[in-house]
Chains A and B, each alone.
Chain A
Amino acid sequence: MSVVINFILSQALIIPLIVALIRIKKIDKVYYPLLILLLIGLLSEFVSFACINAFKTNAPVIKIYSLIECCIILYQLYLWKNAIRYRRMFIVLGLVCLIFWVIETIIFKNINTFSPYFRVFYAFVIVLLCINQINAMMFYQNVALLKNPVFIICLAFIILFLYQIIYEASYYIGSDKSEVANKIIMGFSYLNFFINLMCAAGIYFMGSSKGDPYSHYLNGR
């Protein structure tokens, strides 16, 4: 698949952003980190495209974006968790991720090369947190899950980051050395497109403060 098609598929990020733009007044503040993440994602796609053309690599962009993505998603999950008692746990997780990133990127000085460890690590952490979030919702909330933005987005995260773990492993093996790895790497763009559609659906169902199970969190702070 050419870089251009890959770039076009990655621009599917625009779909949830357009939905968010249309519904921005109706969306509760508790979802803002996710919207900011989408914006940063779009920006990183443009910067990556420019870097590939200029320096033949986008590794630094991907590395910095990974750290930002990890921190924002952790913060978003903390807000959705809606419980102060988890604050320390999320801070510790954030710090562990940050230390991991610093060791991998700064100490081992490989900001210009792709390495899978941090991306696999934070993907794994986010998958576990999302599973926990979905299970808690299934048992405690009296809402239709398929229309619940938190459920849809957590599900999207689980699919995306589980695939990311396999994708990074495939990248580590090398697309030129294994046909399967090559197919997995190629498939990521399509999966990314599907995840963006799921995010758009999630944003479509994001409600205002009224009737939103999480709205009292921000209001009560």
Chain B
Amino acid sequence: MQDKLFYTVVIISILIAVVIIFFVVSVIRYHKRYMQLQKERIQAQIMIQEEERKRIANDLHDSLGPMLSTVKLFMNSIAVDNDTDQESLDKASGYIDETINNLREISYNLLPSSLDRNNLEMVVNEYISRMGNRQPIKITFSVTKDTVIPKKIEIHLFRIIQEIVHNTIKHSGARNLKLSITRHPGELLLISEDDGRGFEPDKIRAASGGLGLKSIENRCQMLDADLKIIAAKNQGCKMIIKVPVYG
């Protein structure tokens, strides 16, 4: 009787253990598949976003730009005797110039076409100098020597930098922003550090939806990158993004 009881208990325990193990393995398997699905979804969203940005940038650059230039040309060809009319024409011409510049700026922000021809370092430096001219913030960017950034991740790193710069200018009130890319075996480190008023990431996510932050997180997920945010109120913000580089 004792043997029968013992073996029955052992067999039932094994069956229940198998059920528990199966449950855990099944959760892990589905979670893995779900994460892959999420990644593919984000990838598709980002690709669509990039395509849409490209389309809008091209439309702005190729159709609106030349049209405004033509308008300006026609305006300049108008001969007026009256000084008041001439003044109005000059003003309108000035506004058209400003509009063309703004259009170029928007088009550039939407699609840094120079990324096709130049490397990320040059494009980011160009972007920073454009931003620096208009904003009371000192932005520095450095890439350690001999760092090779794979072409396919350049656009994502650029977008992340764009988002960091935009967020820093808009929300942090920082005077200095340091950006750097360093190469480590098998990975790239993108580090940003500002001396602004800082923030609490969880609060930002909960309160405003944190679209900028979400966008950075999505790009990181797409790149399989680790994102670490070290930030606290009035203590600036440091972001460390570790991007794995394969091959």
| A residues lining the B interface (CB < 8 Å) | 120, 124, 127-128, 131-132, 135-136, 138-140, 162, 165-166, 169, 172-173, 177-178
Q: Which residue of A lies closest to B26 (CB)?
A: A135
Tell me if B30 and A178 are in contact (CB < 8 A): no
> Contact between B30 and A135 (Cβ–Cβ < 8 Å)?
yes
User: What's the count of A-B pairs with C-beta under 8 Å?
Assistant: 42
- SS of B interface (majority): helix
Known: A131-B22, A177-B1. A169 touches B30 (CB 8 A): no
Q: A131-B26, A162-B19, A177-B1 are in contact. List 14 more A-B contacts (CB 8 A).
A: A120-B15, A124-B15, A127-B19, A131-B22, A131-B23, A135-B23, A135-B27, A139-B30, A139-B34, A140-B34, A165-B12, A169-B11, A172-B4, A173-B8
Bound form: Cα–Cα A135–B29 in Å = 9
Contact of B12 among A131, A132, A136, A169 (CB under 8 A): A169
* A177 surroundings in chain B (CB, below 8 A): 1
Tell me, yes or no, whether B184 is within 8 Å of chain A by CB.
no
Contact A162 B27 (CB under 8 A): no
Which A residues touch B8, using CB under 8 A?
169, 172-173
Cα–Cα distance between A138 and B23 once the two chains are bound (Å): 13
Name B residues whose Cβ lies closer than 8 Å to a Cβ of A.
1, 4-5, 8-9, 11-12, 15-16, 18-19, 22-23, 26-27, 30-31, 33-34
Contact residues in A for B19 (Cβ distance below 8 Å): 124, 127-128, 131, 162
By beta carbon, the residue of chain A nearest B29 is A135
- Whether A136 pairs with B30 at a CB distance below 8 angstroms is yes
A138 to B12, CA, bound (A): 28
- Point out the residues of chain B lying under 8 angstroms from A162, CB to CB: 16, 19
**Minimum CB distance partner of B11 in chain A:** A169
